[in-house]
Structure 1
Amino acid sequence: MGKIIIYEHANFQGYSKELTRDVANLKDIDWNDCISSVKVIGQPWVAYEHMNYTGRLMVFEEGEHSFVGREMNDKITSLMLITENLHNPQITIYEHDQYQGKSKVITEATNLARGHYNDMASSHKVQRGAWLLCEHSDGSGFRYIAREHEHLPSYRAINFNDNFGSGGAAGLASVRRVQELPHVR
């Protein structure tokens, strides 16, 4: 399945703890806001800034992450294991709410900013896998994890919509699959 080893300091220093299941509030295990590096074995994990899997997020795929980044250093409060089968992922994005308008089937990382779908998507259906939806083409800004079988009829529910310029909500500019990398020994 998957596990994550969390470390108190960068470069895998200080106290550490191994986790094999979701933790909605790291305060419950005395690890709130004190993670600086992680090692992931198997399935990816999503780290959230706030309890109950809310706030800013960062995806950690298999490997050693000697620093979680300035944005999340000592700010992680919940962790969620991605349990979906990550092979042959597919998501369909739609131009309008309720899966209306033009649609685009995506099976690999896609920079929507380069085409007609930049800031144009308003809903999606995930057929397979897990996807990281990002406000900016470089993966920064507002992020959202879309998981297998999720049907989201309106991005307004997550403050993510196609009206970035006028309505104040972030628009979708890139889509990247969450992957399980081959384990290197």
Structure 2
Amino acid sequence: MGIKVTDSWLDQASVRSGVGLDTNMGRIIFYEDKNFQGRSYETSSDCAELTSYLSRCNSCRVESGCFMVYERPNFMGHQMLVRRGEYPDNQRLMGMTMSDCIRSCRMIPMHRGQFRMKIYERENFSGQMNELMDDCDNIQERYRMSDCMSAQVMDGHWLMYEQPHFRGRMMYLRPGEYRSMRDMGTGPMDMRIGSIRRIMESC
């Protein structure tokens, strides 16, 4: 039977409330081995370095909410959105050949309000600008933009995709300013943005 390593923040929250974990809170469990075997680590918040708790991570289970998982520490490298469900093999999930390819994660808060962001053709919010409030399955076709190299997210949480129709590598954006997409640490520097989708509350 695997050994469970629980996030201390979760323990403290449960003790203070006197009840179990809030079912509206995102919750993910990482396992050292495939098929949910070996030691495990459970969290409901961001984790910049999973190897602080586990020597490796080969499977995960999302019990509630949505998370972004990353192949490198500090939310860098190849990333993938995971929703409620079971992921018995991280190699297949991430499309990687690494044996322990999840090194960090971000919890995506539920958002029930409007969605709004601005995308710019060039870095530092210059060049052609367009404002989005819903999904866009083909940026080049809809806006005639040659590229999307910076963005400002005012409301909601978004996913940018490398290809049109929400395909290829993805990049998570939360409210804030992104002066250069090339500095996001997603991997190869030539990632272009082909489509953008809102992360809805129905995770």
Give the TM-score category using the shorter length.
Answer: 0.7 to 0.9
* Counterpart in the other structure of 2:86: 65
Between the aligned partners of 1:159 and 1:81, the Cα distance in structure 2 is: 18
User: Shift of residue 174 of structure 1?
Assistant: 0.9
Tell me, yes or no, if the aligned pair for 2:28 and 2:42 is still in contact at 8 Å: yes
Once the two structures are superposed, residues 9-60 of structure 1 have per-residue CA deviations (whole angstroms, 9 ceiling, x without a partner) of: 24xx42444212222111111153x232422413x21111011111111111
Which has more helix, going by share of residues? 2
* Counterpart in the other structure of 1:56: 78
Task: Give the TM-score taking structure 1 as reference length.
Answer: 0.76
| CA radius of gyration, larger in | 2
Number of aligned residue pairs: give it: 168
Between the aligned partners of 1:129 and 1:79, the Cα distance in structure 2 is: 18
User: Shift of residue 128 of structure 1?
Assistant: 0.6
* Counterpart in the other structure of 1:6: 30
| Residues 3, 9 of structure 1: alpha-carbon distance in 2 compared, 3 angstrom cutoff | same
1:108-147 matches, within 5 Å, as 108-111=134-137, 112-117=139-144, 119-137=146-164, 138-141=166-169, 143-147=170-174
Structure 1, unaligned stretches of length 5 or more?
Answer: 161-167
Aligned counterpart in structure 2 of residue 154 of structure 1, from 160, 180, 189: 180
Pairing 1:79–2:105 present:
yes
Stretches (4+) displaced over 6 A: none
Once the two structures are superposed, residues 123-170 of structure 1 have per-residue CA deviations (whole angstroms, 9 ceiling, x without a partner) of: 2110111111121124313x322111x11223343379xxxxxxx622
Q: Which amino acid aligns with 1:128?
A: D
Q: Which amino acid aligns with 1:175?
A: I
Between the aligned partners of 2:51 and 2:180, the Cα distance in structure 1 is: 33
| Residues 9, 113 of structure 1: alpha-carbon distance in 2 compared, 3 angstrom cutoff | farther
Between the aligned partners of 2:182 and 2:41, the Cα distance in structure 1 is: 37
Task: Give the TM-score taking structure 2 as reference length.
Answer: 0.70
Pairing 1:35–2:62 present:
no
Structure 2, unaligned stretches of length 5 or more?
Answer: 1-24
SS at 2:114 equivalent: coil
